[in-house]
Structure 1
Amino acid sequence: MIIVRLDPRRPDPEKLKPVARVAARGGLVVYPTETVYGLGTNPLLEEAVERVYEAKQRPRNKPLPVLAASLQDVERIARLTPEARRLAEEYWPGPLTIILEAKPALPHTVTACTGRVAVRIPGHPVARLLARLAGGLIIGTSANISGMKPPRTLEEALRQLEGRGIEAAVDAGPTPLGRPSTIIDMTTKPPRLVRQGPIPWSEIERRTQH
Structure 2
Amino acid sequence: MRSKIDEAVSVLHRDGLIVYPTETVYGLGCDAFSENAIHRVYEVKKRPVSNPISVAVCDLEMALAITLMSDFEQEFIERFLPGPVTAVVKAGSCIPKVLTGGTDYIGIRIPDNETALNIIREFDAPITSTSANISGGKSPVDFNEVTVVYDLFVDGGRLPGTPSTVVDLCRKEVIRAGPQLDEIGRYLADEKE
**What is the TM-score of this pair, normalised by structure 1?**
0.87
Aligned partners of 2:178, 2:44: CA distance in 1, in Å?
25
Does residue 193 of structure 2 align to residue 204 of structure 1?
no
Q: What CA deviation, in whole Å up to 9, does each residue of 1:134-155 have, x standing for no partner?
A: 2231101000000110000022
Q: Which residue of 2 aligns with 1:23?
A: 12
Identity %: 36
Q: Is the 8 A contact 1:154 1:170 kept in 2?
A: no
Amino acid at match of 1:56: K
Q: Which residue of 1 aligns with 2:158?
A: 174
Aligned partners of 1:168, 1:103: CA distance in 2, in Å?
29
Does residue 35 of structure 2 align to residue 37 of structure 1?
no
Aligned partners of 2:183, 2:162: CA distance in 1, in Å?
18
Aligned partners of 1:38, 1:155: CA distance in 2, in Å?
14
Q: Which residue of 2 aligns with 1:146?
A: 135
Q: How many correspondences in the alignment?
A: 190
Q: Which residue of 2 aligns with 1:79?
A: 68
- Deviation for aligned residue 1:79: 1.6
**What is the TM-score of this pair, normalised by structure 2?**
0.94
Amino acid at match of 1:169: F
Amino acid at match of 1:194: I
Q: Which residue of 2 aligns with 1:64?
A: 53
- Matched position secondary structure for 2:88: strand
Structure 2 portions without partners, runs of 5+: none
Q: Which residue of 2 aligns with 1:112?
A: 101
- Matched position secondary structure for 2:152: strand
Moved over 4 A (4+): none
Mapping of residues 94-133 of structure 1, within 5 Å = 94-133=83-122
- Matched position secondary structure for 1:203: helix
Structure 1 portions without partners, runs of 5+: 1-11
- Residue from 144, 150, 168 that aligns with 1:185: 168
- Matched position secondary structure for 1:171: coil
Amino acid at match of 2:153: A
